[in-house]
Structures are given as structure tokens and as C-alpha cells.
Amino acid sequence: MASKLIIVESPAKANTIKKFLGNDYKVVASMGHIRDLPKSKLGVDIEHDFEPEYINIRGKASLINSLKKDAKNAKVVYLATDPDREGEAIAFHLAYILGIPQDSICRVTFNEITKETVKKSIKEPRKIDMNLTDAQQARRVLDRIVGYQISPILWKKVKRGLSAGRVQSVAVKLIVDREDEIEKFIPEEYWNIFAKLSKEGEIFTARLYGKDGKKIELHNEKEVKDILNKIEKGKYLVTDVKKGEKKRTPAPPFTTSTMQQEASRKLGFPIRKTMNVAQGLYEGVNVSGRGTVGLITYMRTDSTRISEEAREAAKKHITAKYGNSYYENRYYKTKSGAQDAHEGIRPTYVEITPEEVKGSLTPDQYKLYSLIYNRFIASQMSSAVYDTITANIDVNKENETFNFRASGQKLKFKGFMTLYVEDRDEKSNEDDEANVPDLIVGEEVKKEKIESKQSFTEPPPRYTEASLVKTLEEKGIGRPSTYATIISTIIDRRYIEKEQKQLVPTELGRVVNKLLIENFTDIINVEFTADIENRFDEIAEGNEKWKEVIREFYKPFKQELDKANKELEHVELQEEVSNVQCEKCGRMMVVKYGRYGKFLACPGYPDCKNIKPYVEKIDVPCPVCGAEVYVRKTKRGKNYYVCSKYVKDNPNSCNFISWNMPKVGEKWSPEMEQKQVKKTRRTRKKSSAKTKSKKTTKAKNTSSKTKTRTKKA
């Protein structure tokens, strides 16, 4: 019988750790939290200094009894939940349930799940860190107070079932504010003039940047034409040439935030998916020929620090595969204020390349592991080197000098770019190669062509999941471990929706945001929210007491709450009136919000209970009959497009109905739609078949191994 019990959070993690330990150890999973605040009430005793009223989570009674039995039969119990505040809190609640004294040496953590780290950590247990536990407890209690005391106001004034989260509300505000900026943006016209020049047949481009040595801006076509007339027959003389060298350094190893951003940009992964896939890679994957292996280090970290052992392994790999010139020993500075308890995210074993384990991973695991692996290796590689040249070229005409500039660069040494290049939200051409010939000061270059280009300033882009995460991190709102929950929550609540990866506020989101801004200035304030996060960090460091932070927060919050309840008691939010008349009573119908979005309802309720679907239209006419096209949603929220004259099962009506938005001038037929649907289904089936085949192969391999072990036994 096992004399030592190890409790982790998930079965996958338990299975991985079991492989590293002998028969003296039993490893079981708590399946996440086992105690929490009750869902049915506030669960925080405000009258008694904000004491949380924890209860055992419903449905976990048999699991708790099993854990108690295992703990009773063990001589030693180790609580090995995840190495962060949430994991520390789970360990605290496990200790309470199992009757383990608070000062017991029972806590172990693994930054990576490897045999060496697991065995080493078990030899170095510690007490439960109450500072980390209190930091998590402070966040949980504060979020519960905000959510459970503001939400009833939303129920009364907007719609039952809504909720207001402390950090989620600020995220919604950022997205609404950005949309307001875009809607109010007035484009401004500007022009550029480009000269196509050549030397000995080699053509290059120069851009007008100044006049008489001073920078100029062109705002209209008249200004452009005046300059074009003056320089049409001028001589283009080289007045200055500067040659140099530019280096581009690799990005550091991933933090949670940068991993989320890059997986969104490069792989198209939602933030939640990235964290789920990373969790699986951390907890362990059954790798052919190696057994269960934790492939990456802990994926919730703010640090870019890496261990010396990992650094040495990277050096060995790089010099063997690429040569000594591609290696550079690099140290990265972690941002101020970041939690540095764990390393940056990296592969646990550099020798396990993505290609080696591809057959043992799901497609998503392989993509993310490749991203993490290549990013880490590239972070220890040499800089990319470019040769650069910048030339000033002047055109003199009628005592005026117009200044052109040509810039070029050529990649001389790829360095880390051989393996990995970081994506960016704002696309840039700063590393694109551009050719400029070897020019000499004083020489004349031949004018081939002069071109002008009209452009307009653009509004700020809508947030994507990646850029929102970046902004939340920059502003200190939430923490990387919470970003996935923040974004998924505001989408699930239909405050925000995704349009081609862009985050757009819904009308419901705008209404809720407006109500919160007008009544809860602190809750919706970016700086205030960031300050609260810093206070949580101070609690984790032992510099503040968690209840003191809650007390300071609650007094002004209660004043805002009482004021809002009083002022909104007799106020009804103005409903959006449609142009659709209720055919039953003649009133103009209003827009309401339901489970699946907007719908029209008669304002005469309860006397008149008439409701209708809310009809959203697009600007493109029906490609079959030219009538209006409506946008409708399935129960799962997917858009489809249908002609306003379409009637189901009526052969005389227009037959246009499609998953794809029609385009102006585009032809459409039911046959084309069927082909598109069949093609999509065929692709899905192939993907599904591959997954099934892979699972079957794994099952056969596992079965084969089991038979072999049985024979040996």
C-alpha cells in the first residue's frame, strides 16, 4: 500500500507524475477547486469583516470522501496543485477538508513536470503560502461583492440574467470606447509623391519628404500638381549617401500574455483555446517511445527568465544544427511589476523537437508546441543583420529645392530568422528588403517616372483578442492567467461579439457599459482597476492585509451602490423604438434582448404580448431578385443571409438563402451553395477522419504495448 499521497488538480497531471515515482506514492486529482463561495447567495459576510462563507462544491461529495479516505491511509500527504495563486488557494482548501494543519510542511510545486523536477520538489516541501492564498481570496471576495451587488441593478433596468464583472466591465469599456473612436473618426486626406529612378538600368524608388531641407506635408491634389509641374524636367542629383548595418534581435521566450497574443496572430487560436492546449502540454502527453511527458514549463508566468540548464541545452542544439555563428547567450529583463516566480514558457526537453512528437500530438498541440519550441530556441540565437543604405536626392527648379529620399536594406545574415519571426498586430515593412544601387554623392540619376498617391488617415483598428490582451497587460488590468476568462465571459454574455476576429460591442454591451459609467465610476475606471491589481500583488508579497484592501474598496463602493439604487429606482432606461408597428395593438414595437440577441416586443406588455424577430439588413441587394437581404442567426449564434422575399417551402418565392454574405454583382444559385456546403463538409470529414485514425492508431499502439507487458509478466 502506498504510504505517501500526492494530490494534484487534474487526472492528466496525476498520470504523468505517477510514471516518475515508485509504489510508495499514490497520485490522485482534486479536479480543480473543491470549496468555493455559494452560487445561491453573496457568500461574503460583510457585517463580520468580509468573512467568506465557503462551502463544498456541489457534486464533489464522493470525490471529497475518496480524498479523505486516501489521506487517512497515507503517512504523508503532499498538496501539489498548480504553482500560482489559484493553485495555492486550492491547496489551502484541500488542507482544510483533509484536516491538515495550516503550518504543516505539505506543499510542493512543479514549474515543469519532468522526473528530475518532480523528485527534487517532493524532497523540498514547504508550508502553504498564506500570502498567495490571501491574494487569491481577496480577488475572489472583491469580484463576488461587485458582481452580486451590481448585477441586480442590471436585472431591473436592462434584462434579467445579466451580470457585471469587475475586470470584465473594464474590458467591455475599452472595446466600446474604441468603437466610439472609430465611429467619430473623420478621415483626413494626404498625398505622397514617388520618383522611379535608375542608375545604369537598375531601378529604385525615392519618396518626396521635404522642400529646401524642411519637411513638407501634402494635403490636396492641387499642391501635388504644382510640385509635379516644377520637378517634371528637373535634374535628380545625389546629395548624401549613408551606408550602415542594422540588427534585429529575437523576441524573448513566451510569457502567458505573449503566448496568447502570438497564438492568436499566427495560429488563429482564441485565448481560451491557447490556455487549454498549453495546459495539456504542461500536464503531460503520451509520447511514442517515451511514455507520458510534460512537454512545456508552467504556462502561467509573467517572466522571461530561463534556467541555466535550459540555456545550455539550447546552446548545444543551436550549435549542432546551425553552427556556432548562430548562437548567442542572451538574458532577457523581465518587465517591472511582473511576477517572477516561474521561468518563461519553454520546452522541458530541448532534444524533443516538434517533428519528433508530431505523431503523438493533436494538430492543435503540435502547432502550439512548435510555436513555443521555436520561440525559445530563437531567443538564444544570433541577431539578423541587414546592410542598409539611405540616399538623399535633390531636384532644383526655379530657386526651389525638392528633397527625395531612397532607403534600402538587404539581409546579410538571417540569424534567428532562420527559425522564427514574431508577428505584430500593426503590420510593418521595416524588415522587408528594398533595393537601392550603390550611389555616389554628386552623380545624377535618371528619372523614369513620377507617381503621386492619394491616401486617407485611418481610424484606430478594432481590438482583436491578441491586441486586447496586449492592452490589458499594458494598462495593468487583470493578470495573464485571467485574460482567457475575461474575454470568453464578455463574449458569452453577448456584450461583445467577434466579426472576422475583431471584437465589436453589441447594443446590449453598450447599454450595460453606459449604465455602469453613469453610476459606478470607480468600477469602470481603468486606473482604479489597475491599482486594485497592484494591491493584490502587494498582498501576495506580504506587504498588505487582504481584508484591509477590501475594507478600503467597499466604503466608496457602497456609497455608489446606494446612490445608484436610489436614483435608478424610478428610472426606466429608454428603449430603442423600431419602425415596425404591432399589428395587434398599433403601438410601435421596441428592441429587446433575449438569449439569442435582439428581438422586437410590443411595449404594451402585459396587455399585448406580441413579439417578432429583429430584422437586421445588409447594404447588398439579393443576387437573385434584387430585394433586401436579412441577416439571421442560428441558435448557436452563426450568421446566415436570406432574401426578404424568401418563404420556406414556397417554390414561387425567391430562393436565396446562404451561409455566405452576398457581394455586389456576384452570381448565385442553389447549386453553387450546395457545392460550397459539400466542400466544407468534405473538409470537416477529412479532418475528423484523420483525428479518428490517429486515435485508433494510438489505441492499437497502447493495446500492443499492454499485450507485450502481459507476456513479459
Q: Which residues are designated catalytic?
A: 298
Q: Which residue carries 423604438 as its cell?
A: 577
C-alpha cell at 634: 442560428
The backbone region for 602, taken as left when phi is positive above 0, alpha when psi lies in -120 to 50, beta otherwise, is: beta
Please state at what angle helix 465-475 crosses helix 166-184, rounded to 10 degrees: 110
Contacts of range 146-154, beta carbons closer than 8 Å, 24 or more positions apart: 146/523, 146/557, 148/41, 148/42, 149/42, 149/561, 150/516, 150/520, 150/523, 150/561, 153/515, 153/519, 153/564, 153/565, 153/568, 154/512, 154/515
3-state secondary structure of 686: helix
The answer to whether the bond into 670 is cis (omega within 30° of 0) is no
E strands, 253-380, are 285-287, 291-293
User: Considering only CA atoms, which of 604, 551, 606, 545 is closest in space to residue 575?
Assistant: 604
* Residue 123, beta-bridge partner list: none
Would you list the DSSP string of 698-710?
HHHHHHHHHHHHH
Phi-psi region of 102 (alpha: psi -120 to 50; beta: other; left: phi over 0): alpha
Cα separation, 494 vs 380, in Å, equals 43
Cell of 53: 462563507
Q: Which of 102, 72, 67, 74 is nearest to 88 (CA)?
A: 102
Dist. CA 9–CA 17, nearest whole Å? 12
Angstrom distance (rounded) from CA 279 to CA 84? 13
User: How many Å apart are CA 459 and CA 451, to the nearest integer?
Assistant: 26
Q: Which three cell numbers stand for residue 86?
A: 489559484
Where helices occur in 404-499 by DSSP H, the ranges are 465-475, 480-492
Task: Name residue 572's amino acid.
Answer: E
